[in-house]
Structure 1
Amino acid sequence: MNETLDKIKKIVSSEVFGGFLLIICTILALCVQNSFLSEHYREFLNVNVGFNVGNFALDKPLLLWINDGLISIFFFSIGLELKKEFIQGDFKNPKNIVLPFFAALGGIIVPAAIFVLINITDPYTLKGWAIPTATDTAFALAILMMVGKKIPPSLKVFLLSLAIFDDVGAILIIAIFYTTELSVVAFVIAAIAIFVMFILNLLGNTRKSFYFICSVILWLSVLKSGVHATLAGIITAFFIPMQTKEGQPFLKEIDESLRFWLIFIILPLFAFANAGVNLSNITMGSIFSGVSIGIFLGLFLGKQVGVFLFSYLAIKFKLATLPHEANLKQLYGVCILTGIGFTMSLFIDGLAYEVSDIFHYADNLSILIASFCSGIFGFIYLKFFANSKKEI
């Protein structure tokens, strides 16, 4: 009985289960939005939630609390993973950084270039150039794990490493290109919060409450500064100590404690809130618009070509080596999976085009279709065509 429970617990906490849960929430959002419950769905997401403290006021629809608040916790977890990798993991050896770094760079440059070329005549649609540059790590890993033992474990490490750089790239893009008017006062408060966390880290303080208070102040100030609030999550992560003064793991404990919330609440809720595409308003014209085509080709074609091309060049010029026991066929299969933009692409889409129905949801539909095609094509390719020992 205990063995069965342990197996169930292991499956539920795995990346595969997380990916399936996202799929379920996506289907649920699509069904609800396109049924008699659609009005209640939109009303639920547009409910205003906020508070006032003196002259400070924060009042936002629930959808923005999810996209600005809960998703910051997701970026916080990415920051923890990044710090752990650089100090104790694969990134500690500079040679292990080269391949995923170049792969992520190609996965940003090529999809963005495709989108820009298609939409170059319209300044407004060009705002969405970053939409096809993102990869949904949970989905991509879920598909890769479903392929089974035919794929060497080193490719999972490669995909995880690539995803970290990909997410850092997304954070930089959000911080640099998707900001509004900047507030000097908010930046000063953010700087003070960062300084306090720096001192706490320097002193080796591991009181979670102190870091929590500083992170909330930092999040609120960054939110009010004009820079997107998700940046606060990854900044906070960099100041979390690796271990306590007694040598007990501290960062790892926080990271593991977030896993349940990310898998069962934060990412599924984000998917449910953002994947509700109203199919009734989509026209053939919007489906074949520059934005829709740019997103689809950027994600489905641009990501796999960009990631593989830059990886191949890094290997060809001996800047990096192939992951252990992997061949180029298998590497290319993993590159296909990076076209699963889903949650991250939907997130950037919301930043680029603030009015959600400006394209009658055809932009969101393109993200879902491109992600679906990348996942299906990637799975079929890896399962049936990438197990050969011969190179391409």
Structure 2
Amino acid sequence: MVQPRSRIVRLIAPVRSLFVSDASAGVLLILVAAAAMLAANSPLAGEYEALFYGELAWTPIAKLKDLHLWINDGLMAIFFFVVGLEVKRELIVGQLASPEQRRLPVLAAIAGMAVPAIIFVIVVGMGSPLTRGWAIPAATDIAFAMGVLGLLGNRVPASLRLFLLTVAIVDDIGAVLVIAAFYTAGIKMMWLAASVGVFAIMVGMNRFGVNRIWPFILVALVLWICVLFSGVHATIAGVVAALTIPMRNSDGHSMLEKLEHGLAPWSAYLVVPVFGFANAGVNLSGMTINEVLAPLPLAIAAGLVIGKQLGIFGIIVASVKLGIAKAPERANWIEIWGVTILCGIGFTMSLFISGLAFTGDRTLIDEAKIGILGGSLISAILGYVILRMTTSHPEEVEPEPVTP
């Protein structure tokens, strides 16, 4: 006879599995996005708006006058710092360490950014002021995409999981470069020079063997303040600071990996969800169908759904046929196509770039959010259905959970 407790455990097992696998961060983001939309379209809409956009009674930095700015310019620096640590580790000892390993992911990421941007510009029109948002559909959200793969369990070949993760990491590098190059305010040279000087100090700390974390963190905070006032977006300081963290310290242990493992859960389960809740809410009450189907949301959705798979799948086929790179092992073309569709899930970085592209224009930012959420949802469902129907790899060993 089955005990009541056993029945309960068996009933909740599928739910529990979502939160102990690499799907957990993605599932959390889905719930956060849904909560933000509910809050923005409920009787609490006024409180939601006031919480994030109401001017603070006191702030230590006058430039960050509301909670939304503190989240986007301050808290997200932690997310970018973790991204920088992950990128450095991958370049030195990971999947981007050799030319053979990085060739296909780099090509795929470049095509996966370029084609969505081109489609975006085509939809909005070359002369349109909306072209400033060209980079919005170029980003892939690691947590969301890996979360969908996590829901599929071991049905997806391990090589495709690794390929998706590596493409997303290279994609993040591209997004950071785009933000630094194209989404900066008026540059203040004195602050920029100070930023360079602080960065040089951190490089010197690395070279001279400083093997404690706290000096790097303190100087990184100074770097963040300098970059904040320089006109370059403050979160770039997170990536730049991460690149100076030593890979090894004097006792042979990896300072970088220790710091990454310590911060990654905070980034995945606190920083990004808080950012998502503050940025995903869109009040639809005053919107008409014409606004929902306006050029901006359509361009973003088209870039994510069509552009990502067209660019990435196209370059994979071309690279394999021309002998430039090898296809992911033990994966057929339909499986590869399904994973390229998942690359069209853009959330964290896409929302972030939309705020930079249309700063101060809440209407366009809301339209961009609709395009991001709509395009990401379509990509997630379509990619999941294709992989669910066409993949079956029970012999694969379940990989270790991957941090975003």
Shared fold per TM-score greater than 0.5 = yes
Relative to 1, partners in 2 of residues 1:243 and 1:12: Cα closer, same or farther, differing over 3 Å?
farther
Equivalent residue letter for 1:238: L
1:325 matched to 2:330? The reply is yes
Specify the code of the residue in structure 2 equivalent to 1:61.
Answer: D
Is structure 2 residue 135 aligned with structure 1 residue 130? yes
In structure 1, the partner of 2:22 is: 15
Q: Match of 2:257, SS?
A: helix
Indicate whether 1:236 and 2:256 are aligned: no
Amino acid at match of 2:106: F
Match of 1:41 in 2: 48
1:188: which partner in 2? 193
Counterpart of 2:344 in structure 1 is: 339
Alignment of 1:118-267 (within 5 A): 118-267=123-272
Contact kept? 1:78, 1:234, Cα under 8 Å: yes
Deviation at 1:60, TM superposition (A): 2.4
SS in 2 for 1:359: helix
Question: What is the CA-CA distance between 1:335 and the residue it aligns to?
Answer: 0.2
1:15 is paired with a residue whose SS is coil
1:59 to 61, 64, 67: 64
Which 10-residue stretch deviates more, 95-104 or 322-331?
322-331
1:363 CA drift (Å): 2.2
Residue in 1 that maps onto 2:312: 307
Counterpart secondary structure, 2:165: helix
Matching residue of 1:286: 291
Q: CA deviation at 1:122?
A: 4.2
Match of 1:92, SS?
Answer: coil
SS in 1 for 2:65: strand
For 1:273, what is the secondary structure of its paired residue?
A: helix
Identity %: 39
Out of 70, 78, 90, the position equivalent to 2:75 is: 70
State the Cα distance separating 1:268 from its structure 2 match.
0.7
Deviations 1:143-181 (A, max 9, x none): 012112121111111111101110111111111111111
Pair 1:116–1:98, CA change in 2 (3 A): same
| Cα deviation 1:211-247 (Å, max 9, x = unaligned) | 1111111111111111111211111111101122011
Q: Is the 8 A contact 1:32 1:38 kept in 2?
A: yes
Instruction: Give, in whole Å, the separation in 2 of the partners of 1:360 and 1:200.
Output: 41
Structure 2, unpaired ranges of 5+: 1-8, 10-14, 394-404
| Residues 1:359 and 2:364 aligned together | yes
State whether residues 18 and 151 of structure 2, in contact with CA within 8 Å, keep that contact through their aligned partners in structure 1. no
- The Cα shift of 1:65 comes to 1.2
Provide, for residues 322-376 of structure 1, a one-character-per-residue CA deviation record: whole Å limited to 9, x for no partner. 1121222211111000110122211111111113532382321121111011001
Instruction: Read off the aligned partner of 2:293 and give its amino acid letter.
Output: F
CA contact under 8 A between 2:297 and 2:371: conserved in structure 1? Answer: yes
**289-298 vs 279-288, greater mean Cα deviation:** 279-288
SS at structure 2 position matched to 1:277? coil
What is the 5 A alignment of 1:269-284?
A: 269-284=274-289
When normalised by structure 2's length, the TM-score is 0.90
**Equivalent residue of 2:359, what SS?**
coil
Q: Distance in 2 between matches of 1:51 and 1:358?
A: 27
Query: Partners of 2:67 and 2:127 in 1: how far apart?
Result: 31
Q: How does 1:86-97 map to 2 (within 5 A)?
A: 86-97=91-102
Which ranges in structure 1 are unaligned for 5 or more consecutive residues?
Answer: none
Instruction: Output the CA distance in 1 between the equivalents of 2:384 and 2:64.
Output: 43
Q: Distance in 2 between matches of 1:325 and 1:91?
A: 20
1:188-222 CA-to-partner distances (Å, cap 9, x unmatched) read 11011111101110012122221111111111111
Distance in 1 separating the partners of 2:388 and 2:285: 36
Correspondence for 2:385 = 380
What SS does the aligned partner of 1:369 have? helix
1:256 Cα deviation (Å)?
0.7
Q: Which amino acid letter does the alignment assign opposite residue 256 of structure 1? A: H
Count of residues in correspondence between the two structures? 380
Q: Secondary structure at the match of 1:240?
A: coil
Deviation at 1:260, TM superposition (A): 2.3
Report what 2:399 is aligned to. none
Q: Deviations over 1:27-66 (max 9, x none)?
A: 11111110110000011002445645xxx84432111111
Q: Following the alignment from structure 1 to structure 2, what is the Cα–Cα distance between the partners of residues 240 and 9? A: 36
TM-score, normalised to structure 1, is: 0.92
For residues 50-99 of structure 1, the C-alpha deviation after alignment (integer angstroms, 9 at most, x for no partner) is: 645xxx84432111111111112111111111111121112222101011
Q: What's 1:349 paired with? A: 354
Equivalent-residue separation in structure 1 for 2:95 and 2:185 (angstroms): 37
